[in-house]
Amino acid sequence: VDPTRNKGYTLPVSWEGVLDRADLCFFGFQYNVTEEEILDAERKFGRPLNQFRDLNYKDDFESAIAMLSLMDIVISPDTTMFELAGAMGIPTICMTVGPTGHYGMRERFPFYPSVHVITCDSVDEDATDLLKRLPSALDHMIRNIQNYIQPAEWREAVARAT
């Protein structure tokens, strides 16, 4: 992934305060990340960034959704992964670079109550600015996880529909 391609993307090596947390295990779903970028992050943070290497995240939605359903929390830029996680009721942090947020939503996303949105404060900011706010957003979600988890009946209905 080339962050110059889109100001909403970052490299895994720039996720300080998140990927270096010893209390969490991380799985990457980003489909254009290179092996070198993963290894750089693993060296920097001293821990693995797990990847489902045989999974085609871009073209095999069924398998991607199956693996995504196993996650306790999802952190995603404003992409399909956040939409899928939100639709499944998985607690999710969506990082969106627009100062008005995704569809104008600045914190909560009414279509997906399990999603917390963090946005840029101005048009001059990009995803690296969001990464500075991500550790506190993640701490907040972990402390208040019950506010983001959808009722079991809702998640079962989603599972039956997919």
pLDDT in tens, 98-152: 655 555 555 666 778 888 888 877 777 788 888 999 999 999 999 888 777 766 6
* Token reading at 111: 């279509």
Q: CB 53: neighbour CB atoms within 10 A? A: 8
Query: Residue 61 pLDDT > 60, yes or no?
Result: yes
Q: Which residue has the tokens 């019950």?
A: 146
Query: Residue 2 pLDDT > 60, yes or no?
Result: no
* Token reading at 87: 């639709």
Mean pLDDT value across residues 63-85: 88
Confidence of residue 63 (pLDDT cuts 50, 70, 90): confident
Distance CA 39, CA 46 (A): 10
Are 106 and 119 in contact, with CB atoms under 8 Å apart?
Answer: yes
Q: pTM of whole model > 0.85?
A: no
* Token reading at 122: 């101005």
Distance CA 142, CA 55 (A): 28
Are 89 and 149 in contact, with CB atoms under 8 Å apart?
Answer: yes
Distance CA 137, CA 117 (A): 9
Distance CA 43, CA 160 (A): 41
pLDDT of residue 44: 95
Confidence of residue 161 (pLDDT cuts 50, 70, 90): low
* Token reading at 118: 């963090």
